[in-house]
């Protein structure tokens, strides 16, 4: 796909233009472009631009919401294409996924869930603003192998620790691996809160989840980059 198509995707997010974003995604699918390339080389770059402009006070909350809407429109086209791949693979493991309490950012978490599904994991997405106890209850119910916790705010990152504690309290710590992610999250933070691994993006999250499945014994923090 020509670079200017990726640029147009990026721009559609900055402009908060859902119709353009979804039209470009459809074109990409028809042209045989890998959905993950459209996401990483186009739309996600737009999201980063939006975040930077918001931080500089050049964009406001309604603009950021419009950009999120455009991102969702693109994902609505690309998501099913990526998930199709997963149905042809053996089940790789059960993952319970969610965004921490107090945090409503979901785009990155959805992307992680989609790619895990595309690579054969069975993913149960609890949504956003999820308390630790809810993660633990669902992990128990589904006999989950992995719990994945997203946080996009420095203020809600600490709630990832609450999830680790809830899993411990439920007596699941030896059977469930915990992975954390989100823009402000680091490997060091994962270590500090006693999580098993950290990944910086959705593709690395798949690699990390595979590594955690191989371990399935208490181990040091794994980082997939």
Identify residues 115-154 at the interface with ligand B12 (CB under 6 A).
Answer: 148-150, 152-154
| Backbone dihedral angles phi then psi of residue 111, each to the nearest 5 degrees | -60, -45
Asked if 182 is part of the footprint of ligand B12 (rule: CB under 6 A), the reply reads yes
Per the DSSP assignment, residues forming a β-bridge with 116 are none
Identify residues 2-41 at the interface with ligand B12 (CB under 6 A).
Answer: none
Figure out which of the listed residues 31, 65, 76, 219 binds ligand B12, where binding follows CB under 6 A: 65
The residue written with tokens 């609505």 in the block is: 76
Per the DSSP assignment, residues forming a β-bridge with 179 are 148, 197
Report the residue number, 8 or 115, with the smaller CB distance to ligand B12.
Answer: 115
- Whether 213 contacts 93, CB under 8 Å: yes
Per the DSSP assignment, residues forming a β-bridge with 122 are 94
Report the residue number, 21 or 202, with the smaller CB distance to ligand B12.
Answer: 202
Figure out which of the listed residues 64, 85, 170, 213 binds ligand B12, where binding follows CB under 6 A: 64
Among candidates 225, 214, 223, which has minimal Cα distance to 92?
Answer: 214
Figure out which of the listed residues 61, 87, 88, 220 binds ligand B12, where binding follows CB under 6 A: 61
Name the helix (H) or strand (E) containing 124: strand 121-125
Residues at the contact surface with ligand B12, assessed by CB under 6 A: 44, 47-48, 50-51, 54-55, 61, 64-65, 67-68, 102-109, 111-112, 148-150, 152-154, 179-184, 199, 201-202, 205
């Amino acid at each position: 796909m020509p670079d200017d198509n990726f640029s147009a995707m990026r721009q559609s997010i900055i402009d908060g233009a859902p119709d353009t974003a979804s039209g470009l995604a459809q074109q990409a699918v028809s042209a045989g472009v890998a959905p993950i390339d459209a996401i990483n080389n186009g739309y996600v770059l737009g999201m980063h631009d939006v975040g930077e402009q918001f931080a500089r006070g050049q964009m406001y909350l309604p603009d950021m919401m419009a950009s999120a809407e455009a991102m969702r429109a693109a994902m609505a086209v690309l998501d099913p294409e990526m998930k199709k791949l997963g149905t042809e693979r053996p089940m790789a493991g059960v993952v319970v996924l969610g965004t921490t309490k107090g945090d409503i950012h979901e785009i990155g978490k959805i992307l992680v869930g989609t790619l895990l599904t595309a690579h054969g994991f069975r993913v149960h997405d609890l949504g956003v603003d999820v308390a630790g106890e809810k993660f633990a209850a669902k992990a128990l119910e589904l006999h989950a192998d992995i719990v994945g916790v997203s946080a996009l705010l420095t203020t809600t990152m600490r709630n990832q620790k609450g999830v680790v504690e809830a899993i411990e309290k439920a007596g699941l710590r030896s059977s469930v691996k915990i992975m954390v992610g989100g823009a402000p999250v680091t490997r060091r933070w994962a270590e500090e809160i006693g999580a098993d691994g950290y990944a910086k993006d959705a593709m690395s999250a798949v690699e990390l989840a595979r590594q955690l499945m191989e371990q399935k014994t208490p181990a040091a923090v794994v980082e997939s980059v």
